Every structure is written in C-alpha cells, then in structure tokens.
Structure 1
C-alpha cells in the first residue's frame, strides 16, 4: 500500500476497481494519517469494503481521493453504501460521496457556489436538500451565512446542477447574475488555485428578437477544445444543415455554446436537432478521451524547453492527440493508449532522468 501523486491517477486507475471519494476533510490531520483512516474505512465489512490496492490522496482537488480495490466486486458494493467517515482521530463524522472512476479522467470538479441571489426567494436549506436528492452524485459542503457552498462531483453532475440552477433563476423572474467560482478540477492541477467565474443567467440579449429562440449546451472546456480542433468540420456542417448559428462563452472549466436559428430554416425543431447532435458528440468524446497533465512548475527554463520540444516532436506521431500549453503545465488529451504512448515517447526523446512532470 502506498500513496501516490495525483498526476499518476490516469496511469494507475483501474476503471472497474477505482472509486472517486468526495468530502474528505482536508487540513485536519497529516496526509499520511488521513490515508490510514481512509484505508481502514474502505476495508471495513460494515462499509461493504475489502482489500485496498492503492489510495491517491491528497489530490489537486480539495477533499477528493481515489481508492482502487483489489476486487472489482468490492468497488461495486461500496457504491451501494452511504458513507460516514468516522475515527477517534477525527472530532466528528464526515459524510462521503463515492462514484465509479470510469474510463474518462474528466471525473472530478470542485465549485464554490454563491446562492445569495435566491436567498430572498426561497429557503436555501430546502433548495440544497432538493439538489442533494436530485443529484446524489454530488457532495455538498456546509452552507455559510453569505450563501456560499462548496460542491464536488463529476462533470456531468456539475453540468446538471448548472442547468437546474438556470431553471431556478428563470423561474425566479430575476435578471441578476449568479456566480459560480470554479476551482480547478482534478484533471487540471494548479497549485495556485486561481479561481474563475462562470455566470449562470438566463439569456436576455437586448438585440435578440423576442420571437427568436435560443438553446444552450454546456461542455467541459477541454472537450470543447478537442471538438473544435478535430471535429470542427462535422460541427460546422451540423450547424449549416439545421440552419443554426452559434456563439460560445469559454470558461476555464465549462464552456457554454449558445445556438440560435439563422432564419434560413426557422423552427424550434431545428435547434433541438442541432443541440442533440452537439450533446451526443460531447458525451461521446467525454466517454472516450483520457487526459494527463505534465506539471512544469518546478522545472527550470531549460527543462521546460526540452519538454516542449519533445512534445512537439512526438505530436507529429500522434496527430489525434491534443496538446494544450500553459505556463506551469501541459495538458495532453486523447485516447488512453495514445496519451500513454505519447508520454512514454516524450520521456524517451527528451532522455529525462526524472519525469518533467515530477
């Protein structure tokens, strides 16, 4: 048993035997002690647990751990149980949410929601309870007096939460904005934890004719980048086929595509068809793609240049792999086999004595 770095999740995770755990109390105890508490919890028979092969904790997402069991059946049983993390070294019990890791690494996202807009229109406590019932894959932290609450879970559940809140805002007949301050999710390590804003609001453009209808699709931003690079011809052909134009609001973690008729083929059914195709394409990519990140924060300028040159050289061998460059890390997105071979070739060509993403 060992605790490995979060950057290795994509390589070590066995989708059928790995679960994602949300709600781990961060900062209370040393990481090694918390790992020990998690092992004990998920090995107990009363928790439907069994032998643990490896635990990944801490990770780049606060309060998130990955647990891989030796037996696939144990992972399935654990998912059926409600979990409360209790130990004499903790001063109280902490509810945990668990979900299967799955084939995709676009698995975990952490958001801080501001619900202050709805504070005077409904009971925030009741609203949160409804969200918990309707979105059981999400883990909700405590609600503070300013209406702020932390939420963790897989992208598709965060997306469903966004849509649910959009409907709530529309029904509240408010034209104000609700902000979601997104913290960097598990698949995008960023030690500075720079926060971005996603504005959740009903579209109300003054230039839009009242008779025009507009539909939206929310995607993981990395999926959007991949789609626009490798599926753009199909995407544009779909819009043209149904007489639809689009504009995008690109955020750090979530991108929203707004679809509107261009009046060549009017009718709400055209918009619905176009949206369904874009949603299906997004879901297909989300399920088939994997992602790994090469952190460069502690690398020297020479090491960064060396890694960049190696990535560019290898990218010609794997044209279906998307490489996104950032100042402190590199994101590599593609099929599981492609990104594994890609990273191996980068190490080989660069002749790194130790990984550049140490």
Structure 2
C-alpha cells in the first residue's frame, strides 16, 4: 500500500432538502465505524479520514442515496397525473453497487437491492437470505432500497462463502428485476367503507394468487408479482 490512509471532504449540503443533515451524518458514522469524521461545517462540508477502500465504499453509498432521491423526484413528477403502474426500479442492476471490504477481522460485503425485490425474496425464497453457519446476513431498509451486509461469523473465516452467497443473491435479484411488476391500488378518493371492501377483497383473493405479494398500507395496497398474475388480479379487482 502506498498510502496507509486518505482524507476526503464530503459535501452533505446536497441532502439538506430531503434529510436532516446531522441525522444523516450520524447514520453514516454508524455504517462506517472504521472512518474518522471531522466536525460538520456550516457549509455542509465534513472531512473524513480512513483507508481508501472504506472511503470509496462510503462514496458509493452516498452516490446511491443521491441517485435514488433523483429517481424518486423524477417518478413523482412524471406520475403525478398517471395511474401508478410501473416496473420495479432497475437502477440497482449495475454490478458496481456490490462492494466488498477486507479488514483485520476478515471480509464483509454489501449488496444493494430494490426493497420490493428484497421483500419478495424474503417472502418466497427466504433461504437465499439466511446465510450459513459461517456467514451472517443483516439488512437495513431505507425507502426504495435495502442494503444487505454479509459478514464472517468468525474472524478470517468464510471469505469464499461470502462471495458465493453474495453472487447467488445478486443473480436471483436480477432474475426478479426482469420478471416482476408492481401494481398499486390507491385508496385516494375512496370512502372508509370502500377502503375496507378493497382490503377484504384482497385478503379473499390472496390464496388464489399464491405467487403474488401484497403489502398493505393505510393509503394503498402494493401488489408485486409476474405480469400475467398482476393483469389477472387487477381484472378481478376492477370487476
């Protein structure tokens, strides 16, 4: 190694319209315990010092967060007058969003997934997210993205297993990206009685569509599955 550590300056002001910058910085510090952070300046700048791989991983995390916010803004503008029917996000398909960092205690790797895909995997193929006796998988969800952290259960062990499990998760997530579609049933403009009728109907139909995932919210129901199932389901609901 030519340099034992490097120093970078983060411009946190770009997030001030969507986040409380101080809270976001605390989240970053929790994620990046191997890095040293200076005080947050009035202009939103903060200095960070640490190893180059850790600095690069932090930069990738912030770029992903900024990209997701940009995508959400564009979707909000383009869909404000449209029916909320869309394919699941595919910006995470880029392999650059899978990262690994090797430290003194072994290796940890990170995979960023669309939250809908993560929930679908968790519901229908949970064994893919269970790791192994030597690999521990934890997840953190932040809106439309979910980050998986794959770590060795014991120091300096299971390095090969981590890579193999990560690759399996990535391959399956790519398959789901291409195969799944999401339909949103909005309760906007409906009375309380109509909302309850929608909920009862979806609960009644759920056993008849075993490969659909239904996520219930106060304002809407998201239905995720294959296009044929989605089309058939929405046709039944509309009738």
For normalisation by structure 2, the TM-score amounts to 0.61
> Any conservation in 2 of the 1:218–1:257 contact (CA below 8 Å)?
yes
Counterpart selection for 1:317 from 193, 208, 230: 208
1: CA distance, partners of 2:55 / 2:109: 17
> Any conservation in 1 of the 2:100–2:107 contact (CA below 8 Å)?
no
Greater Cα radius of gyration, structure 1 or 2: 1
Give, in angstroms, the shift of residue 346 of structure 1: 1.7
What is the alpha-carbon root mean square deviation over aligned residues? Answer: 3.9
2: CA distance, partners of 1:319 / 1:147: 43
> Any conservation in 2 of the 1:184–1:253 contact (CA below 8 Å)?
no
- Residue 208 of structure 2 aligns to a residue in which SS? coil
Counterpart selection for 2:132 from 240, 243, 246: 240
Residue 341 in 1 paired to residue 208 in 2?
no
2: CA distance, partners of 1:221 / 1:169: 26
Q: 1:172 to 1:332 in 2, by over 3 A?
A: closer
> Any conservation in 2 of the 1:315–1:342 contact (CA below 8 Å)?
no
Compare the two structures and name the one with the higher helix fraction: 2
Q: Structure 1, unaligned stretches of length 5 or more?
A: 1-115, 121-145, 151-166, 192-199, 349-358
Counterpart selection for 1:216 from 81, 87, 110: 110
Residue 269 in 1 paired to residue 160 in 2?
yes
2: CA distance, partners of 1:117 / 1:264: 31
> Any conservation in 2 of the 1:295–1:330 contact (CA below 8 Å)?
yes
For normalisation by structure 1, the TM-score amounts to 0.42
Corresponding residue of 1:170: 54
1: CA distance, partners of 2:75 / 2:119: 18
Matches within 5 A, 1:181-192: 182=69, 183=72, 186=75
Give, in angstroms, the shift of residue 148 of structure 1: 6.0
Worse overlay, 316-325 or 339-348: 339-348
Q: Deviations over 1:52-109 (max 9, x none)?
A: xxxxxxxxxxxxxxxxxxxxxxxxxxxxxxxxxxxxxxxxxxxxxxxxxxxxxxxxxx
Q: Deviations over 1:171-214 (max 9, x none)?
A: 47989x94647337749x789xxxxxxxx9x999xxxx832211
- Residue 190 of structure 2 aligns to a residue in which SS? coil
Corresponding residue of 1:300: 191
Q: Structure 2, unaligned stretches of length 5 or more?
A: 1-7, 18-50, 82-96
Residue 230 in 1 paired to residue 114 in 2?
no
Give, in angstroms, the shift of residue 240 of structure 1: 1.9
Counterpart selection for 1:283 from 162, 171, 174: 174
Corresponding residue of 1:328: 219
Counterpart selection for 2:141 from 227, 250, 253: 250
1: CA distance, partners of 2:10 / 2:185: 40
> Any conservation in 1 of the 2:100–2:110 contact (CA below 8 Å)?
no
Q: How many residues align?
A: 174
2: CA distance, partners of 1:217 / 1:343: 32
